[in-house]
Structure 1
Amino acid sequence: MKPGESITADVYCSELEEMMTKLAIKHPRLVTRDKPILLQDNARPHVAQATLLKLQEMELETLCHPAYSPDLAPTDYHFFQAYDQFLQGQIFNSQHVVENAFLRFIATRPPGFYADGIYKLPSRWQRCVDSMGAYFV
């Protein structure tokens, strides 16, 4: 997307299709199971009627995610935390330098990095239940 551009339900639906195409190539087992499960928050484009219809058409099951729950979102508690540490002390003077830093971050993640964030999810859900829904870090 271009800077300043907002994501719409139509854009999100296109992203879902692209994601499934790439998954079919890179990880076919994830696409051939009965119902792939998608974890997403309740942002407007994610819950729009067009998106819900697209998810149904693609036979994607969604895992409910409570609103405003960064402690339960792998991107927040795992990915962005690591990205923040990676960026510490760096100064950026152009969009190009920022993009290169992001690509460097992605390229330097160990093989199990993304799976680690997903595997932490059940224990984080349990912590949420144990804390009766209160936030934790």
Structure 2
Amino acid sequence: MRGRISVVALLEKYGWERLKHPPYSPDLSPPDFDLFPKLKEPLRGIRFPNLDILNEEVSRRIRDLNKDGVLCGIQALPKRWQSCIDKQGDYIEGL
């Protein structure tokens, strides 16, 4: 069995450049703070008899969201970004 080599060691071994990525924050991800709650809330507590019916209901809900528009979530992004900056990356509760 081969010994474990860290990813950083492999990057250095092959001379590959290490790219810096910002940390992931669900507070900055529109699907996490806007879309998924809008999809989940109306379905909360409902038991679906099978996967096909669940898929149909989720698809219907997505169509309804598209019809209503998700512009509110998009327009809220700058405020969300600023809150994340103000909190220095800490979790944003209920914004």
TM-score, reference length from structure 1? 0.47
Report 1:27-42 matches (<5 A).
none
**Which one-letter code corresponds to 1:113 in the other structure?**
G
Q: 1:65 Cα shift?
A: 6.2
Q: What corresponds to 2:27 in structure 1?
A: 71
Greater per-residue strand proportion: 1
Q: 1:92 Cα shift?
A: 1.5
Q: Which runs of 5+ in 2 are unaligned?
A: 1-20
Alignment match of 1:91 (pick from 47, 55, 58): 47
2-structure distance, mates of 1:74, 1:97: 26
1-structure distance, mates of 2:68, 2:23: 26
Task: Please state if 1:107 is matched with 2:48.
Answer: no
1-structure distance, mates of 2:34, 2:61: 13
Question: Which protein has greater RCO, CA pairs closer than 8 Å, 6+ apart?
Answer: 2
Q: 1:113 Cα shift?
A: 2.8
Larger Rg: 2
Q: Which runs of 5+ in 1 are unaligned?
A: 1-63
Q: Percent identity?
A: 33
Q: What corresponds to 1:135 in structure 2?
A: 91
Question: 108-117 vs 74-83, which deviates more?
Answer: 108-117
TM-score, reference length from structure 2? 0.66
2-structure distance, mates of 1:135, 1:94: 36
Which runs of at least 4 in structure 1 moved beyond 6 Å after TM superposition? Answer: none
How many residue pairs match? The answer is: 73
1-structure distance, mates of 2:86, 2:69: 26
